[in-house]
Amino acid sequence: MAARKATREREREGDDLSPAHPLERLIFFSDAVFAIAITLLVIEVRPPHLPFHTSDRDQLVSLINLTPSFTAFFISFFVVGAFWAGHHRAFSLSKHWSPKLLFPNILMLCAIAFMPFATAYMGLNMGQRVPSMLYDAVLMITAILNIRLVKLATSPPVVDERADPLAIARTRARGWGVALGAAIAFALTFVFPPISQFGLMTIPIWLRLSIARAERRANATVRPS
Amino acid sequence: MAARKATREREREGDDLSPAHPLERLIFFSDAVFAIAITLLVIEVRPPHLPFHTSDRDQLVSLINLTPSFTAFFISFFVVGAFWAGHHRAFSLSKHWSPKLLFPNILMLCAIAFMPFATAYMGLNMGQRVPSMLYDAVLMITAILNIRLVKLATSPPVVDERADPLAIARTRARGWGVALGAAIAFALTFVFPPISQFGLMTIPIWLRLSIARAERRANATVRPS
Amino acid sequence: MAARKATREREREGDDLSPAHPLERLIFFSDAVFAIAITLLVIEVRPPHLPFHTSDRDQLVSLINLTPSFTAFFISFFVVGAFWAGHHRAFSLSKHWSPKLLFPNILMLCAIAFMPFATAYMGLNMGQRVPSMLYDAVLMITAILNIRLVKLATSPPVVDERADPLAIARTRARGWGVALGAAIAFALTFVFPPISQFGLMTIPIWLRLSIARAERRANATVRPS
Amino acid sequence: MAARKATREREREGDDLSPAHPLERLIFFSDAVFAIAITLLVIEVRPPHLPFHTSDRDQLVSLINLTPSFTAFFISFFVVGAFWAGHHRAFSLSKHWSPKLLFPNILMLCAIAFMPFATAYMGLNMGQRVPSMLYDAVLMITAILNIRLVKLATSPPVVDERADPLAIARTRARGWGVALGAAIAFALTFVFPPISQFGLMTIPIWLRLSIARAERRANATVRPS
């Protein structure tokens, strides 16, 4: 009995060490910034305020006029959601804390925190060149900062030694999907701005190609015969 | 002494594995989005700013004029709170991570994050058809996305194998309560918009009926004699 | 070695059960709502925007004109901070989950989430009766909802059986401090609104009296000789 | 089987004790406030809304006119990020809960929560004396509250007894970096406001000097020969 209690004591002591586990806190803080940025997106869509006897038709028109802002909201919601999922995927392969994570992580979060501005600016001026370029540029920068952070989180000394090399290769490859899609959208703004955001629809293609390439490479490394 | 330290080391190593437990992070991120959306609701209620020597009466009138916005705030606070409680209930029965959760969860959070807009729009234009329809439509969509997510969280491979089948049946049944109440409210907007939101008051009835039906079914399955 | 591994396995299994520990999630969600409400307070203070060649004097004047909003911000920051500390104190004595916590907790959070509005309204119309009354009424309601929630969290089935009865008595007593201070401030708005918020300064007195009374009572119960 | 279940029960009981670990909750709440304050910074940058046929040039000009707001956003993002990192560093050396932490922590968070206002005010009136002085004063106050909090977190009874004294000395020394940089910037506003924020660029120098001094001292104490 006494031994058992002592064991539990020791276990709790070990537990006590973790309240401020540095890696957990970094992940937690990042989750909170992602969650706030994603939820603030809607704040920038201003609800119309019409007099009481407005006809249904006029109400509908005022709502339809917000389509660009809604579109920008939905695009950004899934873009930020995808970056969160990528962060989630990368850090599920990590295990050790390193102070080297701090700056690249805050830099990436800064780009994410800037998204509500870029989204609102694009939503208010949909189809124009400069707002679309700014939006796509922010996306590209975020994607590049993300690629760098994912690499750090899945490399020594941060990575979990028991993590599957194929999972690491796939997770790193995913980072390129958004970067390439944003680059295409950015290029399209020079041609015809109103359709440029369709460039982001190529992201799934780049994802698939990039992951397939990573898998081929990883297999080649693991089984070099 | 050395052995002791080694044991602690090993224990901490085990502990270290969990900082990024994927299911925990998903739950955490969802909690944060729910919390932000629910707290942002009030931001859309603009406080009146009157000159210093305004009479108490005029101050009261300006406050009473905000009644529609307050009503919309309170309805939405409890609606989002109920969705959070449903998410909480469903995931308390889950145990394993599955990447299949990612997209349905982010889709549901997107509907939740949209609530501050729908709420503010209804509050600013209370009693009109289009804002009420939009609000009820958003509620119905959220409820349907929620039903789907709850099903995923309480099915293999995510569900905890030891979870009580009756608790699962009850949790899934609850999802239908909000969906049906919102559908009634939506239908009422065609008849007489100013009273449509009372349709939401039927939610407790649907909840009870839906849970009772689930219990009957579950009992029939467990004891088929 | 094998046995050891099995033990660790079992421990991790136990750990796996907790990702969605219901009490932890409730606490977490509440913390997030408190944190967001407390940080949103400043959003309602609108920064002055003056032309570039404004004199230092005019800039200072525009800042000094914001004094009421700053005052309201600081009062509310510490009020919400105190409610958070009370929640923190109460739930540090709790241990078991009960679905009965859900509704009283969400009701209390609703009052907290309403604070940014009450604060901004008081800040914009400082010294007037109606805004001060609304603010103090919201405070009183929050305090009463808090007293009820603290009682629930420190009673069976939620309370930790090993919690010190004196600590429970003290924690419950604290709830009365804010309620009484807010009641004094509310009463003062009928007399002379501009000084009513000073009523909140009596909170520490009520706190001390209330805790002293609880301690006397608790001692009387524990040692009835 | 029964024994197995009993063991698990007891383990879970032990686990149940930690949901409301007071130090963890304090850290969590602080992380949330930091995350919200840092993400709200961008909300104060108002996106320009121009008519549809605005030329690219005019769009660019309207964006360039926001440079002061962008600058203020980026400065504050890294300043708040640095304070978070300092909080993170200090509490990674702490282990025990003490109610003495509550007030100094909430005071520091109050200064952090005020940053979005100070940032927006400086951004809207860049290069003017009063906004720059307010910003630098807020920074200095935050830095001083931070130094006090870091000291508390790395002293008994809060500090982890096994924490490296050199790490403690370094962590405490870091607090002086921001304080001195903000003091320089504050002093520069008296000379020539438009360049005063460059004073913040001296932070890394003070950091290095302060850490070097702490290391020399710590070495002198540890090895007094």
Model confidence pLDDT, tens digit, residues A147-158: 999 999 888 888
Interface probe, candidates D8, D26, D39, D105, chain A, greatest A C-beta count within 10 A: D39
A159 phi/psi in degrees, rounded to 5? -60, 150
Q: Which DSSP state fits C94?
A: B
The answer to whether the Cβ–Cβ distance between C37 and B39 falls below 8 Å is yes
Helical axes B67-91 vs B22-40, angle rounded to 10°: 170
C-alpha distances in angstroms, B115 versus B43, B73, C4, C36? 12, 10, 50, 17
**Model pLDDT, residue B222:** 56
User: Considering chain D, what is the average pLDDT of its residues?
Assistant: 83
Model confidence pLDDT, tens digit, residues B93-117: 888 888 888 899 999 999 999 999 9
Q: Which residues of A touch D112 (CB under 8 A)?
A: none
Q: Which DSSP state fits B42?
A: G
Q: Which residues of B touch A67 (CB under 8 A)?
A: none
Question: Mean pLDDT of successive 10-residue segments in chain C (225 residues)?
Answer: 34 39 86 93 88 85 90 91 90 86 92 94 88 91 93 86 84 87 88 83 86 82 53
**Model pLDDT, residue A223:** 53
Average pLDDT over residues D195-217: 85
Q: Cβ of D185: how many Cβ atoms within 10 Å?
A: 25
Task: Say whether C211 sits in a helix, a strand or coil.
Answer: helix
Dihedral Cα C51, C56, C57, C63, nearest 10 deg: 70
Picking from A84-88, B142-146, C37-41, C50-54, which range would have the lowest pLDDT averaged per residue? Answer: C50-54
Contact predicate A150/A169, CB 8 Å:
no
Task: Say whether C97 sits in a helix, a strand or coil.
Answer: coil
Task: Say whether C112 sits in a helix, a strand or coil.
Answer: helix
CB under 8 Å to B200, separation ≥6 — which residues? Answer: B75, B79, B139, B181, B182, B184, B185
Contact predicate B121/B131, CB 8 Å:
yes
**Model pLDDT, residue A114:** 94
CA B25, B29, B30, B35 torsion-angle sign: positive
Model confidence pLDDT, tens digit, residues A112-139: 999 999 999 998 888 888 898 899 999 9
CA distance D139 to D136: 5
**Model pLDDT, residue A221:** 66
pTM of the model: 0.87
Would you call the peptide bond into C157 cis, given omega within 30 degrees of 0 as the criterion?
A: yes
User: What distance in Å separates residue B185's CA from the closest CA in chain A?
Assistant: 17
* 3-class SS letters over chain A: CHHHHHHHHHHHHHHHHHHHCHHHHHHHHHHHHHHHHHHHHHHHCCCCCCCCCCCHHHHHHHHHCCHHHHHHHHHHHHHHHHHHHHHHHHHCCECCCCHHHHHHHHHHHHHHHHHHHHHHHHHHCCCCHHHHHHHHHHHHHHHHHHHHHHHHHCCCCCECCCCCHHHHHHHHHHHHHHHHHHHHHHHHHHHCHHHHHHHHHHHHHHHHHHHHHHHHHHHHHHCCC
Q: Which DSSP state fits B46?
A: P
Res. B20 pLDDT band, cuts 50 70 90: very low
**Does the pLDDT value for residue A54 go beyond 50?**
yes
**Does the pLDDT value for residue D11 go beyond 80?**
no
A to D CB pairs, distance under 8 Å: 108
Picking from A75-89, C135-149, D12-26, which range would have the lowest pLDDT averaged per residue? Answer: D12-26
Contact predicate D23/D94, CB 8 Å:
yes
Picking from C14-23, C53-62, D9-18, D152-161, which range would have the lowest pLDDT averaged per residue? Answer: D9-18
C-alpha distances in angstroms, C166 versus A31, A55, C148, C216? 38, 64, 18, 10
Q: Which DSSP state fits C68?
A: H
CA distance C118 to C141: 12
CA A14, D157, C87, C94 torsion-angle sign: positive
**Does the pLDDT value for residue A83 go beyond 50?**
yes
> Which residues of chain B have a Cβ shorter than 8 Å from any chain A Cβ?
7-8, 11-12, 15-17, 19-20, 22, 25-26, 28-29, 32-33, 36-37, 40, 43-44, 102, 106, 109-110, 113-114, 116-117, 120-121, 124-125, 127-131, 134
By C-alpha distance, which of D122, D105, D43, B78 is closest to C77? D105
With 0-12 CB in 10 A as exposed, 13-18 as middle and 19+ as buried, what is B13? exposed
Give the chains touching B; criterion: ≥3 Cβ pairs < 8 Å: A, C
> Which residues of chain B have a Cβ shorter than 8 Å from any chain C Cβ?
10, 14, 17-18, 21, 23-24, 27-28, 31-32, 34-36, 38-43, 45, 47-50, 52, 54, 56, 59-60, 63, 73-74, 77-78, 81, 84-85, 88, 91-92, 94-96, 160
Interface probe, candidates B42, B45, B77, B101, chain C, greatest C C-beta count within 10 A: B42
**Model pLDDT, residue B6:** 34
Q: DSSP string covering C151-199, please?
A: HHHTSTTTB-TTS-HHHHHHHHHHHHHHHHHHHHHHHHHHH-GGGGGGG
CB under 8 Å to C197, separation ≥6 — which residues? Answer: C71, C75, C132, C135, C185
Place of tokens 């931001």: B43
CA distance D123 to D72: 5
User: Considering chain A, what is the average pLDDT of its residues?
Assistant: 83
**Model pLDDT, residue B146:** 92
The answer to whether the Cβ–Cβ distance between D54 and A128 falls below 8 Å is yes
Give the chains touching A; criterion: ≥3 Cβ pairs < 8 Å: B, D
**What percent of chain B shows pLDDT beyond 90?**
27
**Nearest neighbour of D95 by CB, restricted to A16, A40, A128:** A16
β-pair partners for A172: none
A92 phi/psi in degrees, rounded to 5? -70, -15
A41-69: b (≥16 Cβ within 10 Å) or e = bbbbbebbebeeebeeeebeebbeebebb
HSE (CB half, 13 Å, CA atoms) of A173?
Answer: 21
User: What distance in Å separates residue D88's CA from the closest CA in chain C?
Assistant: 17
**Amino acid identity for residue A92 in this structure:** S
**Amino acid identity for residue A193 in this structure:** P
User: Considering chain B, what is the average pLDDT of its residues?
Assistant: 83
**Model pLDDT, residue D17:** 40
